[in-house]
Structure 1
C-alpha cells in the first residue's frame, strides 16, 4: 500500500476533526456529508515564457463550500503545493469563516513554484496567467471567489491579480473586491498586514483571562511575564510576537528555517528581525544561544509555544517532549491529530488554528466590504464623531470649571479612523468566538477541547445555512 502524502494526511486529519465534532450534533447525516465534501476543484497547467525558455506551471483552486458566496481563501506559491493540501486548507477555511461569523464559503489555491528563487518578472507572468485562467472560468470575482495572500504570496501578487481582473472586467464598479490583501493604495485596508498576528494576540489575551483555564494550568492571569517560543518569523509569527511582547511577554526562543536562537531573559523581536534583514539569518544574534536544529526549540521549556510556520511541525515523535503549558496554533495544521491527543493528555491547553489565526480572513472581510462600498471606513463619520465628543468635553469643562488638559482632551475627542475600526472589529470577533467555544464546552460535556468546540460551532452554523437555502428539508 502506497504511503500517504503529507497533503493526504493533512486532509484526513481535518476530516477526522470534523467527524469528531459532528457526532455531538443533531445535524442529519445527509447535511453532514455535504458539509464535509469539497464542492469543486479546478486544476490547470499553463505555459510561461522567459528569456526564450517555456516552463509549464501547475495551478490549483479548490472551492470547498458554496453555502455562502463568495468563497474565500489564500493563494500559496510553493513547490510542495498539491491537491490534497489545497483541499484541506479550503476545508479549514469553510469552518474558520463560519466560526467567526464571516459570511464566506471556504476556498484555497496554489501554484507549484518556488517564489524565493524565481525572478520577479517570472512571478508576475505566472501570477497574471494563473489569475487569467481562473477569471476565464468565472472562478474569481467579488461575488464568486475572493483570493488572498498565503504562504509565498503577498500584497504585490494580489495587486497583480486585481489588475488582471480589471482587464477582463473593465468598468465593473466592485472589481476591487475580487481579491483582498492588496496594497492600501490599490484598494487594500489599513491593518490587514498585521491582522493574523494581532488576532493571535487577542486570542491569547482572552484565554489568559479565562479563570477556569488558568486554574487548570496553575498560572497567573494575563500575558505579562509569560515565556513564549515562536516558530516562524514571517508575517504571522513576527506580528504575533510583536504584539505579545508589547504586552509584557518574554520571547525566549525563535525558530526559523536556518536554525533557532534562545535567550532565557528574552529576545527583542524587532532587533532580531532587523538582524535577519541585514545578515540573512537569525543565527548569531548578539546575546542569544544558537540552536542548530530549530525544531528542537518546540520541546524547550516555555509557557506558550506558538508554531507559526507550516503544517505537521508537532507530531508523535516530538509531542511527548513538548513542555509548554499552552500551544497556540498560528499556522494552519502545525500539530497532527495524533500529536494533539498526546498534548491534551499531558494537560496542555490547545488554541486551535481554526480559531486563533482567523484574524486574516476577518480583516479580509472588512477589506471586501470596503471595496463593495467604495468608501474608506471612518470617512463618513469620523469628523461628526469628533464634533459630538468635543461638545461633550466642552460642556463638562464649562460645568466643572476645570480643564481636562490638552493631551487628554485630544485622546477623548479623537474620532475613529480606518485602522482603529478594523482593530476594534477584529478584537470583538476574537473575543466573541472564544467565549462561544467555551460556552459549547460547558453545554456539551462530551466536548473537552477548543478544537472540537470550534468545529461543532461551525458545523451547526453551516447546517443552518444549507437548510435556509431550501436544499435540505
Structure 2
C-alpha cells in the first residue's frame, strides 16, 4: 500500500501498532486504547442569507474516556470527514497522555469552507452545532470540552459558550465547556502563541541534549541554527518568532502560493505584513522566490518546521529532505513511508503528537481557570512584587550597592497570568521531552522518537484503564 492510499486514521493506527509491541499490554487492552469510543455524525439545516436551505454535515468524536472530559478542537473545512476527525481525536488521547494533561481525546469538524459563508451564517452554523452536541451530551465541562482548530478561533468559541450557557442556565462552571475563548469571555492570556511556543520549547530541549546532537552532527543549542518554516499561520508564525528571538536564523518561509529564501534570515512579522499588503509572501524585499512551496522542504537547513498541512513529506520527497531535525508543528505532516526513509537517513523527527501539544496544555490551564473562577496571578502577583522589593532593598542596604533600573524591574517583577502560563507550558514540554527520550534510551530497539512517544502514551493510557479495574 503506497502512502497516498493511507487514510489519516490508518496512518495513526500503523504508528500505534509499531509502538504497541514495545509495551507490556495484552492485545485486548491495546485494541480498546486504539478504538474510538463514540462517533457522532450529524446533519442539520440552516437558512442561508439568500433564503435557501442548506444541510450541513458535522462530526464529534470521543476517542477515549480513560480520563474525562474529552478534549479536542473543532475545525471548519470542506475537507472534513469522519476518518480525519477520528484520527485527530485519537492523536489527542496520546498527546494529552504524553504531556500529563488529564483529558481523553476528542475532535470535532464541520464540513464547510468558512470563507464562503457570512459571519451571520457561520454564527448560525456554530450555534446549531453546539445545540446538537448538548442534546447528545457531547459537550460540557466534565464531559467533552472543544477548542479552536483549523478554520475556527476565539469568535466561534465565544458563540459556543454563549449557546451552552443559554441552554444550561445556572451551571456555575459553564465557561469551562470550551477553551480558546476571548480573555473577556473567560479565556486565558498566552493561548494564542501557545502551540508555536510549545514547538520551540520542545525542539530547544532536544537541541540542548549533547548526546542527541552529537549523534546527528550538530552543536548543542538553538543559537545559530538555520530554520525553515512551512506555513505562516498562527503556529508557523509563532514558531518562527520564538526561534528567531532565541538566536536561530529563519532562512526560508513557505506558504501555499510559494516560498521565499534568504541566507541572512527572515523576520516573520515583516513577511506577515508584506503578505497582508500584497496578498503573497513572494517578492519579499531581500529574499529569493522559490518556484514551488514544497521546494522549501528540501532546502539545506538544520531544523525544518512543517506547520501547515498533512502528508507534505511522503515517499516521493522524503529522500530529498536535508534537515537534520524535523519538528512536526502541524498534525501528521509525515506519512509512515516518509518516517522509514528519514530513519534510514539519520534524520531526527520530533513527533507532532507531543510537539504541538502547547495548545491543549494551555487549554488545560484555561479550563482550570474557569473551574477556579480566578485569574492566574491575581492572588500572588502583588505579594511577590512586595516581597521582592523588600529583599532587594535589604540587599542594597547590606552591600551599599544599587542595581540599575532594568535589573530592578526584572527582580521586582511578580508573575502575571501570561508569565505563569508560559512557565507552565515550558515545564510541561521539558518534562515530556525527557520522558520520551528516556523511554527511547531504555529500549534501543525502538526505531525513532515517534515510536517512543507512542510507547509513553500507550503505557499511560493502559495504566489508567488497568487502574480503573475495567481489565483485571
Q: Same fold (TM over 0.5)?
A: yes
Query: Does structure 1 retain, via aligned residues, the 8 Å contact 2:381–2:416?
Result: yes
Q: How far did 1:115 drift?
A: 1.3
1:289 and 2:288 matched: yes
Query: Does structure 1 retain, via aligned residues, the 8 Å contact 2:3–2:337?
Result: no
User: Which residues in structure 2 correspond to 1:410-449 (within 5 Å)?
Assistant: 410-449=409-448
1:71 and 2:70 matched: yes
1:53 and 2:52 matched: yes
Q: Equivalent residue of 1:229, what SS? A: strand
User: Which residues in structure 2 correspond to 1:198-347 (within 5 Å)?
Assistant: 198-347=197-346
Q: How far did 1:377 drift?
A: 0.4
Q: How far did 1:5 drift?
A: 8.1
TM-score by length of 1: 0.97
Query: Does structure 1 retain, via aligned residues, the 8 Å contact 2:3–2:314?
Result: no
Deviations 1:19-65 (A, max 9, x none): 11111111122211110100000000111102211111100000000
Q: Quick one: distance in 2 between partners of 1:405 and 1:312?
A: 52
Q: Quick one: distance in 2 between partners of 1:252 and 1:172?
A: 50
Q: Which residue does the alignment assign to 2:189?
A: 190
Q: Quick one: distance in 2 between partners of 1:306 and 1:469?
A: 39
TM-score by length of 2: 0.97
1:20 corresponds, among 18, 21, 24, to 18
Q: Which residue does the alignment assign to 1:37?
A: 35
Q: How far did 1:395 drift?
A: 1.9
Q: Quick one: distance in 2 between partners of 1:228 and 1:58?
A: 39
Q: How far did 1:128 drift?
A: 0.9
Q: Quick one: distance in 2 between partners of 1:347 and 1:294?
A: 24
Query: Does structure 1 retain, via aligned residues, the 8 Å contact 2:3–2:336?
Result: no
Deviations 1:414-438 (A, max 9, x none): 1111000000000000001001111
Q: Quick one: distance in 1 between partners of 2:140 and 2:390?
A: 45
**Structure 1 pair 4–403 and aligned structure 2 pair: CA distance change class (3 A):** closer
Q: Equivalent residue of 2:64, what SS? A: coil
Q: Which residue does the alignment assign to 2:372?
A: 373
Q: Quick one: distance in 1 between partners of 2:271 and 2:389?
A: 43
Q: Quick one: distance in 2 between partners of 1:298 and 1:247?
A: 22
Q: Equivalent residue of 2:463, what SS? A: helix
In terms of mean alpha carbon deviation, does 133-142 or 395-404 score higher?
395-404
Query: Does structure 1 retain, via aligned residues, the 8 Å contact 2:75–2:148?
Result: yes
Deviations 1:317-357 (A, max 9, x none): 01111111111100010000111110111111110001110
Q: Quick one: distance in 2 between partners of 1:323 and 1:266?
A: 18
Q: Which residue does the alignment assign to 2:7?
A: 9
User: Which runs of 5 or more structure 1 residues have no equivalent in the other structure?
Assistant: none
1:389 and 2:388 matched: yes
Q: Quick one: distance in 1 between partners of 2:73 and 2:317?
A: 29
Q: How far did 1:156 drift?
A: 0.8
Query: Does structure 1 retain, via aligned residues, the 8 Å contact 2:96–2:357?
Result: yes
Q: How far did 1:121 drift?
A: 1.4
Aligned residues: 471
Q: Equivalent residue of 2:252, what SS? A: strand
Q: Which residue does the alignment assign to 2:180?
A: 181
In terms of mean alpha carbon deviation, does 323-332 or 110-119 score higher?
110-119
In terms of mean alpha carbon deviation, does 49-58 or 419-428 score higher?
49-58
Q: How far did 1:391 drift?
A: 2.1
Q: How far did 1:406 drift?
A: 3.5
Q: Quick one: distance in 2 between partners of 1:422 and 1:338?
A: 37
1:134 and 2:133 matched: yes
Q: Quick one: distance in 2 between partners of 1:457 and 1:409?
A: 43
Q: Quick one: distance in 2 between partners of 1:27 and 1:69?
A: 22
1:399 and 2:407 matched: no
